[in-house]
Amino acid sequence: MVDSDHGLDEEIDELVLSVKAVMLLCGNSVECRNSLRERIRDMQDEEIDSFLDVFHKPQRGLLPQISMAVGEIILASVLLFLGVAILTPALVGFSGPEAFLHYFVSAQVALINAVPYFPFVLLTDFIVAIALLSSAFYALKESAEKIESAGLRYR
C-alpha cells in the first residue's frame, strides 16, 4: 500500500506542475481560459468529470436545504403581498364592490386636482411594485431549485 501511495503522490505532483504550466501559459488571457474551460467541458469524460467534482462544494444535508427553501418561500410570500399591496393599494381591505368603485372615483378626483409630480409618483409606485413581484417569483424559483437539489420532487 505504501508503494501505491508513493505513486499517487508522484502523480499528484505531476498534475500540480501541469496545471501550473497551463496557467502560466494562459496568464491573464481570457480567451485562453475560455478555451480551456470549453475544452474540458466538451470532453465529456467520466474520469475528468469525477476529478472536477472533487473541487465542488459538498452538498448540504437535507434539513438545511429544506430550511432555506421554506425561508425563501416565506420571503416570496411577503414580497408578493407587498408588491400587490403597492400595486393596488386600495384593494387591501376592500369589503365589497362599492368600496372598489369608490376607490376609482376618488382616484379620478385626485388625478384632476393632482400636483405636477403625481405621474412620477405613480410611475415609481408601479416600478417598485413590479420589482417586488419579480423578486418574489425569483425567490420562489430559487426555493424550488433548493428543494429539487435536496432530492424532493413533485410529480
Tell me what the mean pLDDT of segment 32-53 comes to.
83
Give the pLDDT of residue 4.
64
Sorted by where each begins, the domain ranges of the chain are: 2-53, 62-149
Of the pLDDT bands very low, low, confident and very high (cuts 50, 70, 90), residue 14 is very high
Look over the chain and give the mean of its residue pLDDT values, rounded to a whole number: 77
| Span 60-97, pLDDT tens digits | 677 887 888 888 889 888 888 888 776 776 455 555 66
Cβ burial of 94 (10 Å; 0-12, 13-18, 19+) is middle
Query: Above 50 in pLDDT, residue 1?
Result: no
Tell me what the mean pLDDT of segment 111-129 comes to.
68
